[in-house]
Amino acid sequence: MRLGVLDVGSNTVHLLVVDAHPGARPLPAHSHKAELRLAQLLDDRGAIGPDGVEQLVGTVRGALEAAEDKGVEDLLPFATSAVREATNADEVLDRVQSETGVALRVLSGEEEARLTFLAARRWFGWSAGRLLVLDIGGGSLEIAYGLDEEPDAAVSLPLGAGRLTSGWLPGDPPDPADVKALRRHVRAQIARTVGEFSRLGAPDHVVATSKTFKQLARLAGAARSAEGLYVQRELKRKSLEDWVPRLAAMTEAERAELPGVSEGRAGQLLAGALVAEGAMDLFGVETLEVCPWALREGVILRRLDHMPTA
């Protein structure tokens, strides 16, 4: 059957259409993406303002039309941290449903971490052993660890690249004092969780998902996305440590000229790099592997797991 997953994230609204059935690998059929930057549309009260709600409704309506055009039989719509943490979340969800018919399911941070972990486990298989999975979104950082398909530990921290950029790095290029303050903040937040994971033992394989990690790996010499999903892509901590001060000295426009960096994400790249560097350092990770699958695939896989086999 043809499934669609509609991901209302902190940076983008992304519709992924796949052909799938239980026991088989989902095959991508179509991708429809719109940048919305919901995390940056929050007002002083932490609410999504009228313009932001209007943009969200229009974007969801456009994604729904795309899903219908592509023959989607079952749409799985969900929202993550930007909507989850908005003070007017219920009002926003009601407005989206009343005007588009789409009932967004708001995932908790832990659910995000668990579903992303499921996707990574299915991608790498049982032979990968104990996985530590890191995912940097626009609004939050998810960390999960485990041996099975359900992680033994999963947390979500308010350390998304978009959130941190808007809240901590107003300059372009950023003030070195602001970069230093953000680095301290990020590491203090991550350090609080390290003990929960370290007591479970060292991972056999460390995996990262998300656009931020893909771009950082590309900067460090990993293969281009055009070379396909099955090319192994790694990110070494040493390479990342070399890149962080370089990114901190650049303007947003200069970062956008770097290989693999999209114009829409260039402004967030430094904050994402500081989170990635902090996580790798505090968890003692020298090298991680980038996983092509992440939250959207996890949502699809969970849906397939609950479908009857023919």
pLDDT at 309: 65
Query: Is the predicted pLDDT of residue 89 greater than 60, yes or no?
Result: yes
Domain 110-295, CATH homologous superfamily name and number: Exopolyphosphatase. Domain 2 (3.30.420.150)
Query: Is the predicted pLDDT of residue 281 greater than 80, yes or no?
Result: yes
Mean pLDDT of 114-136: 98
Token representation of residue 165: 């950029």
Asked if 133 and 120 touch (Cβ cutoff 8 Å), the reply is: yes
Query: Is the predicted pLDDT of residue 310 greater than 60, yes or no?
Result: no
Asked if 19 and 141 touch (Cβ cutoff 8 Å), the reply is: no
Torsion of CA 237, 240, 244, 245, to 10 degrees: 90
- Across the chain, mean pLDDT equals 95
Mean pLDDT of 114-126: 97
Token representation of residue 63: 């994604």
Query: Is the predicted pLDDT of residue 229 greater than 90, yes or no?
Result: no
Domain 2-106, CATH homologous superfamily name and number: ATPase, nucleotide binding domain (3.30.420.40)
Identical fold at 2-106 and 110-295? yes
For every residue of 32-58, DSSP letters joined together read EEEE--GGGSB-TTSPBPHHHHHHHHH
Asked if 15 and 66 touch (Cβ cutoff 8 Å), the reply is: yes
Name the packing angle between helices 109-124 and 295-305 (round to 10°): 80
Phi, psi of 155 (to 5 degrees): -135, 160
Asked if 16 and 84 touch (Cβ cutoff 8 Å), the reply is: no
Mean pLDDT of 279-289: 98
Which amino acid type is present at position 159? L
Secondary structure (H, E, C), 254-294 = HHHCCCCCCCCCHHHHHHHHHHHHHHHHHCCCCEEEECCCC
Asked if 205 and 131 touch (Cβ cutoff 8 Å), the reply is: yes
What confidence category does residue 60 fall into, taking pLDDT thresholds of 50, 70 and 90? very high
What is the longest distance spanned by two Cα atoms in the chain? 60
Q: Report the distance separating Cα 148 and Cα 134, nearest Å.
A: 16
Mean pLDDT of 115-128: 97
> What is the per-residue pLDDT across 168-195, written as a single tens digit (0 to 9) for each?
999 999 999 999 999 999 999 999 999 9
Rg (CA), the chain: 19
Query: Is the predicted pLDDT of residue 248 greater than 90, yes or no?
Result: yes
Q: Report the distance separating Cα 215 and Cα 261, nearest Å.
A: 6
In the chain the first and final C-alpha atoms are separated, in Å, by 12
Unique residue bearing structure tokens 């998810």: 142
What confidence category does residue 27 fall into, taking pLDDT thresholds of 50, 70 and 90? very high
**Percent of the chain having pLDDT more than 90?**
88
Residue spans per domain, the chain: 2-106, 110-295
